[in-house]
Amino acid sequence: DIQMTQSPSSLSASVGDRVTVTCRASQSISKFLNWYQQRPGEAPKLLIYAASSLQSGVPSRFSGSGSGTDFTLTISGLRPEDFATYYCQQSHSRPRTFGQGTKVEIK
């Protein structure tokens, strides 16, 4: 199985901040990497697919980059509704594994 490791596990930030979350794969996965947002009590929501493609309807303040083993999710200008947990997920091979999550909290 491909192991996905996110860092940090949690972070505190203020509205308007630029936030970066990192995801590392245990082996090269090219650009087969997705990002999801999960607010408390809700189902995950797709933000980014293929490492850097923005899902339809997702605000442009969200962006993704990376390839191989190292990936980042950036939120440029944090808004109140962005306080949530973010998961990366590899789609290179099955089983389709997720990172452990990064919780973005209000400072």
Residues that bind other proteins (CB under 8 A): 1, 30-32, 34, 36, 42-46, 49-50, 53, 55, 87, 89, 91, 94-101
Nearer to other proteins, 12 or 93 (CB): 93
Nearer to other proteins, 24 or 31 (CB): 31
Nearer to other proteins, 37 or 78 (CB): 37
Say if residues 55 and 41 touch (Cβ distance below 8 Å). no
Candidates 67, 69, 78, 68; CA nearest to 20 is 78
Q: At 64, phi and psi to the nearest 5?
A: -130, 150
